[in-house]
Structure 1
Amino acid sequence: MRYLTIGLSLLCMALTANAAKADRRVAFVVGNGAYRNVAQLPNPPVDAKAMAATLRNVGFDVVEGTNLTRDKMTEKLLDFGRKAQGADIAVFYYAGHGIAISGSNYLLPVDADLKSEMDVKLGSAINIDVTLDQTMGDAKVKLVFLDACRDNPFAAKIKSNSPTRSVSVQAGLAEMKSGEGTLIAFATGPGQTALDGEAGANSPFTRALIAHIAQPGVEIQQAMTAVRAQVNEETSKGQLPWGHTNLIGAVYLNPSAIPPATTAAIPSGPANAAASSSGEAELEFWRSVKDSNRPEELNAYLSAYPNGQFKSLALARIASIDSGTSNNATRAVAKGVDPAVFTEEGTQVSEDQIGLDKAKRRDVQRRLTGLGFDNKMTGIFDDETRSVIKRWQAARGYPSSGYLTRLQHKALLAEAQPAPATASVGEDGTRLRRAAKPSGNVATGSAPPPSGAPVYRNPPPPDNAGNAAGAAFIGGMMGGVLGGALRR
């Protein structure tokens, strides 16, 4: 019965995952901060990078841009409009300056120079209503997030240049109503201004969006309730996000949680799914900023992941940038290792040049396992080992190809190994070990098991015929399911 319950749970997960992949998801993500004619905003480009990584992690095709001129922004919008035609879910996210003139809202490219109402309406600014209608009109579900409720930097100039007519120039953005199948969310209420947050970090609104909208199994309207609560608390009730919703069904950006009916059978399933999603989002975010020479982008990572697995690398890079050292010296390497290890990408050829025989390959696998990147020590670099090498490379800030270079191999040999644990290795290379006071691993964020608890790579063998029969039944059922999926 236990195997039947687990099998049904896995079947539900497989069907849910296939349904998510069948959805066509498109997103437009832009953050404008480097304005040429008014004060710059340090956070919107950082916000856009974080949001793009979050959406990609749950299957969105993202049209992304930062610090775009009017022409470049139009190009991105045209691309997004083509991709969004007939999409199941289309997301529009913008961070930067936005203004409201006579009840209409406009987004501002970085080259905007608004001297009058005519400049706003006939060229320099982008009308939000027209943009959403033209780019997302055919999408089944439309989600709009506007982190643009800041003071209008051109307000005084526009008013002074319109002496013959009354021009309504509002603070923040004007109220908008959503059409069928649409959710519109503002960083704060109509006519109010939102906080940009600490320079170089995420704004309160975007930080809350990233934290909640892609949580496994959380419906988007539930997520927005959590977003409002977080922003309200973070800003000491100084800012309350506002929105208008006309969705006609439940919308999930990440439907991959185990259904509630099965959570009793596998209690750790949803937690593991959430942890996996969060880990992939963090890795994507880190990859987007790890080579940056701008401390504010690295600080954005630290703001989003204050205890992240790349925290030490981010701090080291910020420190080296602040001290004026060269780009190649921005990450700590062991003594005697060439900093070029961070730029040279491994290939099959570069790995062959190292001359790794089977014993040396087992040594690589042993060292990676000792650092918390568990894999079988077979002396064969199969797909599993390649994946482990990629994770190790990404955690160290090296180009993550899955193949080693001489410099990477040298750096691995130079890494200090944790205290040895009592271990045995089966004939198939499976590592069975009892940890001796493990300390975890800072770079990967792996947590140590309870002291003295056995840690197995694979589960122990079945201890009775009933378990074996149950396993055979589930194996046959899942094989049929997967086979049918492949034939389709």
Structure 2
Amino acid sequence: MRYITLLLSLICMALTVNSAQADRRVAFVVGNGAYKNVAPLPNPSVDAKAMAAALRNVGFEVVEGVNLTRDKMTERLLDFGKKAQGADVAVFFYAGHGIAISGTNYLLPIDADIKSEMDVKLGAAINIDLTLDQTMGDAKVKLVFLDACRDNPFAAKIKSNSATRSVNVGSGLAEMKSGEGTLIAFATGPGQTALDGTEGGNSPFTRALLANVTQPGVEIQQAMTKVRAQVNEETNKGQLPWGHTNLIGTVYLNGAPAPAAPGAAAPAQQQVALAPNAEVEVEFWRSIKDSNKAEEFKAYLTNYPNGQFRSLAQSRVASLEQGGNKPDATRNLSAGIDPAVFTEESSQLSEDQIGLDKGQRRDVQRRLNGLGFDTKVTGIFNQDTRNVITRWQAARGYPKSGYLNRLQHRALLSEIIATQPATASSSSDDDEKPAPRKRASGGGGGGGSAPAPRQSGGGGDPAHMGRFMGGVVGGILR
């Protein structure tokens, strides 16, 4: 009997998996912050990219956009509407400015220039009710998340140009009712305004959504209860998300809890829950890796303070902020290394004591390039390379000289960077013989037990090889 029960449990699990895989999931994710006619918002684009990555990780096809004009938003909505026809689950996420006029809510494209109620009614803004009805009406389950309850930036203009008639221009968004199979969640209550959060990070509401709605085995309404509690706590009871739901069944974005098999150990579920977060992190990194905005890398560091791309993100921030003149921030870039690296001076003598051959100098130049400090890879430390080393030292809070010492060299090797494998980037060395390697003397390194210098490929040092392979993985993901 016990074996029959186990077999039935396994069959149910298999059917559940097959059903989940067959579900058609579509999401619309947009964040508008770079407004042309009112003050910009720093967080919506970061919120949207993080949410898109999280939804893709649990099987959604995502129609995504950031900082969209009216025409571009319309294009994305038409695409989403086609894809959402007959979908099992459709998600609508928007972060940015939204306004309420006479009880109707509107989303604002970045080129919105609203001077009167007529501008809104004639299409300068996007009617939320009409949009949801037209794009998601055929979906079986509809989930709507609106992180748009900010102050109306056009309120004064609309009121001043509507002196001859009564126009109700709301603060925040107006209450909305959900139809059958729909959940609507707002960042805060009707008529209230929500917080943007720390610049370059996620808003409190989006951060709570990311932490809860795609957790394995958590039903969406349970997740939203946790979202409300998290935002309420983070804002010291200054913001309480509000929503309306008319769902007629249980909804799981990351799999329903599997039936407990007799004698099954509980820790197995905990291990399963770890994998999606890692994939979300990688997807998030891919979405920002080519960015030239420091705030997007800061957002990665906020969401993944110990993430696998932490060093590279910190380096990109330092590079984009040009020079790292904030000692406390730059020291964190080399966390975990010998503290003496921040005080020990370097010179031509200390660099000679490391004994870098031409291949190792190329490795240094490649690493500096991977960290955003561009220099030519020649194997020769000319004045250009000296200047780049000086900038790297400044960004890390090390004494600036343009020369390396043993501790600084080790610190550079310890940073995970987007480098290329030696076979792909040093083909010009094929006909060169490496210069004889010098042994380090006891001085200049902060300790007489330092290992001999390593070749650019990592030599036989397993720890260095691990760091080097980490850099190669980073290079592939770029």
TM-score exceeds 0.5: yes
| Superposed displacement of residue 142, structure 1 | 0.2
Rate the CA distance shift 1:8–1:80 in 2: closer, same or farther, 3 A. Answer: same
Other structure's SS at 2:166 match: coil
Distance 1:172 1:415 in 2: 61
Corresponding position of 1:201: 201
Residue in 2 that maps onto 1:337: 366
Residues 133, 416 of structure 1: CA spacing in aligned structure 2 closer, same or farther, 3 A cutoff?
farther
Unaligned runs of 5+ in 2: 325-332, 335-361, 373-415, 428-454, 473-478
Which residue of 2 is the match for residue 481 of structure 1? none
Could you tell me how far 1:265 is from its partner in structure 2?
1.1
**Residues 257 and 273 in structure 1, CA contact (< 8 A), matched pair in contact too:** no
Q: Are residues 1:300 and 2:299 paired?
A: yes
Which residue of structure 2 aligns with residue 58 of structure 1?
58
Counterpart mapping for 1:80-479 below 5 A: 80-255=80-255, 257-259=257-259, 261-262=260-261, 264-323=263-322, 335-337=364-366, 396-397=417-418, 406-407=424-425, 413=458, 417-418=462-463
CA deviations 1:180-208 (Å, max 9, x no partner) are: 00000000000000000001100000000
Q: Deviations over 1:386-433 (max 9, x none)?
A: xxxxxxxxx85469xxx996239997537952399xxxxxxxxxxxxx
Question: TM-score of the superposition, structure 1-length normalised?
Answer: 0.69
CA displacement, residues 423-466 of structure 1 (integer Å, 9 cap, x when unaligned): xxxxxxxxxxxxxxx99x9999xxxxxxxxxxxxxxxxxxxxxx
How far apart are the structure 2 equivalents of 1:342 and 1:315? 9
Q: How many residues are paired up? A: 366
Partner deviation per Cα, 1:329-373 (whole Å, 9 max, x = no partner): xx9995253667799xxxxxxxxxxxxxxxxxxxxxxxxxxxxxx
Amino acid at match of 2:146: L
3-state DSSP class of the match of 1:183? strand
Give 1:3 shift.
Answer: 9.5
- Are 2:47 and 2:202, in contact at CA under 8 Å, matched by a contact in 1? yes
Give the C-alpha shift of residue 226 in structure 1.
0.3
> Structure 1: any 5+ residue segments left out of the alignment?
326-330, 344-394, 421-437, 445-488
- What CA distance in whole angstroms lies between the structure 2 residues aligned with 1:414 and 1:8? 54
Name the amino acid aligned to 1:295: A
CA distance in 2, matches of 1:165, 1:415: 81
Letter in 2 for 1:74: T
Alpha-carbon contact 1:337-1:411 (below 8 Å) kept: no
Q: 1:237 to 1:408 in 2, by over 3 A?
A: farther
Query: For the structure 1 residues 337 and 263, does the alpha-carbon distance in structure 2 shift closer, same or farther, using more than 3 Å as the test?
Result: farther
Fraction of identical pairs, as percent: 69
Q: For 1:109 and 1:191, how far apart are their aligned partners in 2?
A: 21
Cα 1:177/1:404, change in 2 over 3 Å: farther
Task: Supply the AA of the counterpart residue of 1:139.
Answer: A
Q: Which amino acid aligns with 2:364?
A: K
CA distance in 2, matches of 1:94, 1:214: 17
Letter in 1 for 2:322: S
Amino acid at match of 1:418: A
Alpha-carbon distance, 1:288 to partner: 1.2
Shift of 1:67: 0.2
Opposite residue 311 of structure 2, the aligned amino acid is S
Q: Distance in 2 between matches of 1:408 and 1:300?
A: 35
Q: Deviations over 1:245-291 (max 9, x none)?
A: 000000000006533x2385132221111100111111111121122
The alpha carbon displacement at 1:292 in A equals 1.7
Q: Per-residue deviation at 1:20?
A: 1.2
Give the residue type in structure 2 aligned to 1:407.
S
Q: Secondary structure at the match of 1:86?
A: coil
Q: How far, CA to CA, are the matches of 1:207 and 1:127 in structure 2?
A: 26
TM-score, normalisation: structure 2? 0.70
Aligned 8 A contact 1:146 1:187 in 2: yes
Structure 1 residues 164 and 338 mapped into 2: Cα distance closer, same or farther (>3 Å)? same
Question: Quick check: 1:54–1:214 contact (8 Å CA) kept in 2?
Answer: yes
Q: Which residue is equivalent to 2:358?
A: none
Asked whether the 8 Å contact 1:141–1:181 carries over to 2, the reply is yes
Contact 2:29 2:94 in 1 (8 A): yes
Q: Distance in 2 between matches of 1:159 and 1:416?
A: 70
Contact 1:231 1:241 in 2 (8 A): yes
What is the CA–CA distance in structure 2 between the aligned matches of 1:336 and 1:419, rounded to whole Å? 17
